Amino acid sequence: MLPKSLSTSRSWILPLIIFFASFILRLCLISKGPYHLDCLTLALNAQKALVEHQLPYQFGTGYPLTVLTGALFVGLAKILSINDSVFAVNLMSVWLSSFSVLIFFLFIKNIFNTLTALLCALALSLHPIFLTLSVYGNSHIVSFFFLILGLYFLTKRENPLRNIGFTICLGLMGAARIQDMVLMLIPTAFFWWSQQSSSQKDGTKTFCQCFFFAVVIAVAFHLPYLLTQEHGQYQSQLKEFWTLGLTSNFAGFISPSLARALAIIGISTTFVGTLIAAYGFIRLTATQIRTGIFLAFWFLCPLLFYGNVMTIVPRFLLLPIAALLIAEAYGLSLLWNTKHLVRKLIIAAVFAMMLLLPFFTNILPILQFRHSHTLLPDWARFIEKNTESVAYLIVGDEELFIHTYGHRKTLTKKMAMEEFKTQLSRLLAKNVPVYITETGLYVSNPSPEFSSYIKSTYHLELRGKKTVEDWHGGELMLETRPDKLYRIYKN
């Protein structure tokens, strides 16, 4: 019989292999630049927080802990003489996603067994949505890391600090993405009760304390936005975010967007994987009803909200997919539990195909492209090279890229149309060079009024074109197209 210390050290070999394999894969595929506007915004705010010792407002709900975590990684990168804040926040996602896979393994192992945990960790590590989020800076990975860590604490029944650890982690999840915390309150509350022993006294009091202080922690991180001079902007942005999420963009609990969300889940998880997950869930509810209900809440609560927003994109589905992968891993472990070697080989082959086919045929080429190219920053540099230093640009959603990498001022289209016309006419009257991109002319203007006005009122001279990447379709798609640069002249 092995000594206890040796046995304990060997028990960490498999988790460490899982962590380092996940980390090396992500490091080799880390995005070269800011693939997404959110990534660039996070990098700039993290740099600002580090330099000015203030908490910049990201957008929407503010995402304070995401900004602070980004600032931590920017600071650590500077210690290593890495001055690229975008690379630093991309590295943040690489590290936290790798740790998430490790903690996910330990969490599932405590609920089920080592085989189910291994299958689950592998499925999460290579899942297209989680993997594509793992290589560029974003709030989803930070939030998910604290969620999984908090759930893991609840499974440590012998640890007297389990409730404290869970409370802190749930609060930090809310500090990173408070909307995700809200959506996970019902699943985490049910899981909290399911993990309590029948002999525990004052369960209701402890439960209320845990969730009350979790909310307090989350709110405390948002207080700087409310107590500073910019609190008016935060409140207006938060109100706009709330309105956009629950009125104009939210289509109810059953909508065509939900069908698209389910299609994204089915395609990214594979049809076979979804069937196995359904099988695992059915078997789980028959044997471990509490765990089955917990996974049902985990899957449905975020799905019924994010799945019904009209602007649904894959990254919003990370939470329900995590629950689906647990059911899938449980189903696979049941199918694996046989003495027939041929059946085991078939199950292993099916599982390998479920993981590797989407990875090699779709996800790997996309991530390799983003690992090697920075199309939007290159487009901004192209604009800088081909325009005067005093020029103004009329662009689309890539405005921040133009400011950061092209060092050019922009004429925003967010103002009223008549005010915009006045501003443009005034600049041209002063012989200030004004340019417009094809994206700014067409793509970002669903109404033809804007483009019709520009083309009928002014003369457009083509000055060049370059390929750009569009992030709006989501991480699972590589959408590149040529964008053109025009100079605007008076007729």
Regarding whether 344 and 301 lie in a shared domain, the answer is yes
Regarding whether 321 and 398 lie in a shared domain, the answer is no
In a domain, 326, yes or no: yes
- Which of 346, 372, 398 represents a domain boundary (last residue)? 372
CA atoms within 13 A on the CB side of 213: 12
In this predicted structure, what is the pLDDT of residue 444?
Answer: 64
In this predicted structure, what is the pLDDT of residue 160?
Answer: 86
The domain containing residue 391 runs over which residues? Answer: 375-490
- Which of 328, 347, 372 represents a domain boundary (last residue)? 372
The number of distinct structural domains making up the chain is 2
Question: How far is it, in rounded angstroms, from Cα 169 to Cα 175?
Answer: 10
In a domain, 182, yes or no: yes
- Which of 320, 345, 372 represents a domain boundary (last residue)? 372
In this predicted structure, what is the pLDDT of residue 229?
Answer: 56
Regarding whether 332 and 296 lie in a shared domain, the answer is yes
In a domain, 3, yes or no: no
Q: Give the distance, in angstroms, between the CA of residue 63 and the centroid of all CA atoms in the same chain.
A: 12
Regarding whether 260 and 385 lie in a shared domain, the answer is no
In a domain, 5, yes or no: no
CA dihedral 365, 371, 377, 383 (to 10 degrees): -60
Q: Which of 373, 361, 245, 222 is nearest to 302 (CA)?
A: 245
Question: How far is it, in rounded angstroms, from Cα 73 to Cα 80?
Answer: 11
- Residues 185-208 as b/e (b if ≥16 CB within 10 A, e otherwise) read bebbbbbbeebeeeeeeeeeeeee
CA dihedral 160, 103, 77, 234 (to 10 degrees): -80
In this predicted structure, what is the pLDDT of residue 445?
Answer: 63
In this predicted structure, what is the pLDDT of residue 475?
Answer: 94
Regarding whether 265 and 161 lie in a shared domain, the answer is yes
CA dihedral 295, 297, 303, 304 (to 10 degrees): 160
In this predicted structure, what is the pLDDT of residue 321?
Answer: 98
- Residues 222-234 as b/e (b if ≥16 CB within 10 A, e otherwise) read bebbeeeeeeeeb
In a domain, 1, yes or no: no
Q: Look at the pTM and tell me if it is higher than 0.85.
A: yes
Give the length of the chain. Answer: 491
In this predicted structure, what is the pLDDT of residue 215?
Answer: 97
pLDDT in tens, the chain (491 residues): 445 554 556 788 999 999 999 999 999 999 999 999 999 999 999 999 999 999 998 888 889 999 999 999 999 999 999 999 999 999 999 999 999 999 999 999 999 999 999 999 999 999 999 999 999 999 999 999 999 999 999 999 888 899 999 999 999 999 999 999 999 999 999 999 998 876 565 688 999 999 999 999 999 999 988 887 566 667 776 776 676 667 777 877 888 999 999 999 999 999 999 999 999 999 999 999 999 999 999 999 999 999 998 889 999 999 999 999 999 999 999 999 888 899 999 999 999 999 999 999 999 999 999 999 999 999 999 999 999 999 999 998 899 999 999 999 999 877 778 899 999 999 999 999 999 999 999 876 656 788 899 999 999 999 999 999 999 999 999 999 999 999 999 98
